[in-house]
Amino acid sequence: MHSNVHELIERYLSVSFLVNKKAAALVKCELDEMTNDQYYLLRYMSKRNVCTSTELAAVFAVNKSAITAMTNRLVEKEMIQRLRDENDRRVIYLSLTEKGKRWLAETETKIHHLVESLITQFSEEEIESFIQTYEKLANILQKLEETK
Amino acid sequence: MHSNVHELIERYLSVSFLVNKKAAALVKCELDEMTNDQYYLLRYMSKRNVCTSTELAAVFAVNKSAITAMTNRLVEKEMIQRLRDENDRRVIYLSLTEKGKRWLAETETKIHHLVESLITQFSEEEIESFIQTYEKLANILQKLEETK
DNA sequence: TTTAATAGTTAAATAGTTGAACTATATCGA
DNA sequence: TCGATATAGTTCAACTATTTAACTATTAAA
């Protein structure tokens, strides 16, 4: 039983590494002139509608200065815009521009086709339970962070 | 049924992104003076015992010049060494030094404890079937690459 | 034996990241 | 109300990771 846990951990480390790298490479092929991080940033911002640097730093698990650099590049590309809060002038809201929304919509279509071609090779039950476990793991990681 | 697939894809994209970022941040905490990529590189090389730049480039899904840069840094840190093949003088074999082996062994212990604390929150059956699906996905991605 | 292919490196450019120091603004307690 | 403290975000220097194109060296193939 104990050595089994050890083996499961090894398998998990190897497979998660491999899938991450290969999936990132596939996603990248669909992103003309944009990077994977830029895609995920726009994707997250689009879901939240509006958000702040501090929030992004927490979600991406990086320093705020990394977010400043990334958002600067996205502002230059006219994909997002900054808007200062008039009540609390420390905070700056980030949101997608029309160009950013257009690009994201087109890209999401491509990425969905890509993921669909992979996901449909599994039964619906298998994928459903896979994602459920994955989401449990995400929750555990989220809570772990909150306790620190 | 069809809109369900769409939703599954969305859930997969969100959860895989989140887990990747949070897990990478946790792994990083255990790696003093080394980066996540450097850890995974040493880990892979250790499993293969000896390998080449070309092989690493394929596994990491990056250009060979990226591997040259990464291995240069690891040679500087005395974690790996280069050895030219005497039969085919184009190829250079990469392998861990004693220092590299020592560091990796210590680090693997830490990472295993980390993953164990997460993995043991699931039943053995749940983890087993999760990893099995994950491995199927890895195989699909591997084959997809080979056909290209 | 010229020509192809293969293995790896170099160099310039760009993206992502950290950590420390910084500006500006808001909040809180005496 | 004022002075200390906290919060939001930026700047800068240093570094890692990556790509693309041009390159060297070596091997294989016509």
Q: Please name the member of B14, B60, B131 whose beta carbon is closest to the beta carbon of A15.
A: B131
CA distance A10 to A66: 31
Q: B146 CA to D23 C1', in Å? A: 28
Distance CA A112, CA A119 (A): 10
pLDDT tens digits, residue range B105-132? 999 999 999 999 999 999 999 999 999 9
Dist CA B121 CA B4 (whole Å): 28
Read off the DSSP letter of residue B56: H
Closest CA to A68 of A86, A83, A56, A85: A56
How far CA A38 is from CA of A20, A66, A96, B53, in Å, comes to: 17, 12, 12, 28
Q: How confident is the model at residue B148 (pLDDT cuts 50, 70, 90)?
A: low
Distance B141 CA to D23 C1' (A): 33
What are the tens digits of pLDDT across the range A26-36?
A: 999 999 899 99
* Degrees to nearest 5, angle at CA A39 with A148 and A13: 50
Q: What's the sign of the alpha-carbon dihedral B124, B130, B134, B135?
A: positive
pLDDT, tens only, B2-58: 668 999 999 999 999 999 999 999 999 999 899 999 999 999 999 999 999 999 999
Task: Write the pLDDT tens digit of every residue in B36-52.
Answer: 999 999 999 999 999 99
Q: Which bases on strand C have an atom closer than 7 Å to a protein beta carbon? A: 6-12, 15-21, 24-27
- Cα angle B135, A24, B33 (rounded to 5 degrees) comes to 95
For A77-131, what is each residue's pLDDT tens digit? 999 999 999 999 999 999 999 999 999 999 999 999 999 999 999 999 999 999 9
**Residue A109 CB-density burial (10 A; 0-12 exposed, 13-18 middle, 19+ buried):** exposed
Cβ contacts from A onto B, under 8 A: 140
Cα–Cα distance measured from residue A12 to residue B112, given in angstroms and rounded to the nearest whole number = 10
Q: What fold, for A33-146?
A: Arc Repressor Mutant, subunit A (1.10.10)
